[in-house]
Amino acid sequence: MDGEVAIRTTRRRALADEWALVLAAEGLHPSLAGTRGGFSLSVPEAEVERATALLDAWDREGRESAAAAAAAASPDPTLDPLAARHAIAVAAVLVAFFLWTGPADPAVTWFARGTAEAARVVGGEPWRAVTALTLHDDAAHVMGNAIAGALFLAGVFRAFGLGLGGALVLAAGAGGNLANAWIHRGGPHLSIGASTAVFGALGLLAGRALVRGRALGARGRRAWTPAAAALALLAMIGTEGEHVDLWAHACGLAIGTALGITATRLGWSRASPVLQGSAGAAALSLLAASWSLALRS
């Protein structure tokens, strides 16, 4: 066709239509013609330079989008190769501490000073929100939390590392107990057990999955699947049983989810060894300091 210059050819009609649409959207005048090689895209001679630049920019944007999607789809490196062993070790420490304290007894110092009693937590003894995570009613209580905790902690350690992951779980558990105490501040309410932290670990994984799902382009129901799965688990294992504290579980899950979203968005799933060590040391220090304050109060 006189006055027109073919600038691209392709065997794919869909791609040729896409090119033409890009140019037409910018006010140019593309035309398509079938050839032996497939489809040829032409523009008026005066538009060749601009059309070529627009399509080159379109190609670059497409490559960048594809690269971003591939990066989001690729799994993060496993920050803790021994995640399962470390999770089992934490569970074992939980059981060992139960063997040291014995079953719940208000007359025993551990329980008298470490239980998350709502009025005391909000009345000037916030460390109880931490110490209560390490206390349990009986053998069945501690074993249930140890088994569930090992499962979820392994995932958290793989995703966030041993130090940072442990600190986030402790923060979610303590935060859940603080929120639970505030909810029950008007009446007597006692809470012990690691289950708040266990649901915090579940929330961390759900929050991370939620952010990664959106990074992959999930929309609508698909984007909220991780959160829905976490709520389903809360309904299944967090609302029934002799030692259940539903509000504590729900608060731990909510705070864990918020922390998981924040940590993932900040790129903490690729935390440096320095951050891992610092976070782990801070978590252990908080635990030790909380018990120190509890036993001296």
Q: Does residue 164 contact residue 271 with C-beta atoms inside 8 Å?
A: yes
Residue 182: predicted pLDDT:
94
- Minimum mean pLDDT among 135-144, 189-198, 232-241, 274-283: which range? 232-241
Whether residue 109 is predicted with pLDDT greater than 90 in this model: the reply is yes
Q: Which tokens in the block code for residue 167? A: 């600190």
Residue 110: predicted pLDDT:
96
Average pLDDT over residues 221-249: 57
Strand pairing report for 31-35 and 38-44: antiparallel
What long-range pairs does 57-61 form, CB within 8 A, spacing at least 24? 58/19, 58/22
Select the more confidently predicted residue: 124 or 66.
124
Select the more confidently predicted residue: 277 or 2.
277
Whether residue 16 is predicted with pLDDT greater than 60 in this model: the reply is yes
- Measured distance CA(203)–CA(236) in Å, rounded: 15
Residue 68: predicted pLDDT:
52
- What pTM was estimated for this model as a whole? 0.70
Non-local (6+) Cβ contacts of 201 within 8 A are 149, 152, 153, 155, 156, 169, 172, 256
Whether residue 237 is predicted with pLDDT greater than 60 in this model: the reply is no
Helix (H/G/I), strand (E/B), else coil: 31: strand
**Fold classification of 83-296 (topology level):** Rhomboid-like fold (1.20.1540)
- Minimum mean pLDDT among 68-82, 139-153, 196-210: which range? 68-82
Select the more confidently predicted residue: 297 or 107.
107
Q: Fold identical between 4-73 and 83-296?
A: no
Whether residue 180 is predicted with pLDDT greater than 50 in this model: the reply is yes
Look at residues 49, 264, 92 and name the one whose alpha carbon lies nearest to residue 165. Answer: 264
All structural domains of the chain with their residue ranges:
4-73, 83-296
Interhelix angle 225-237/246-265, nearest 10 degrees: 160
Confidence at 244, pLDDT banded by 50, 70, 90 = low
- Minimum mean pLDDT among 57-71, 93-107, 181-195, 252-266: which range? 57-71
**Fold classification of 4-73 (topology level):** Alpha-Beta Plaits (3.30.70)
Confidence at 235, pLDDT banded by 50, 70, 90 = low
- Minimum mean pLDDT among 179-188, 190-199, 215-224: which range? 215-224
Average pLDDT over residues 86-102: 96
Select the more confidently predicted residue: 93 or 80.
93
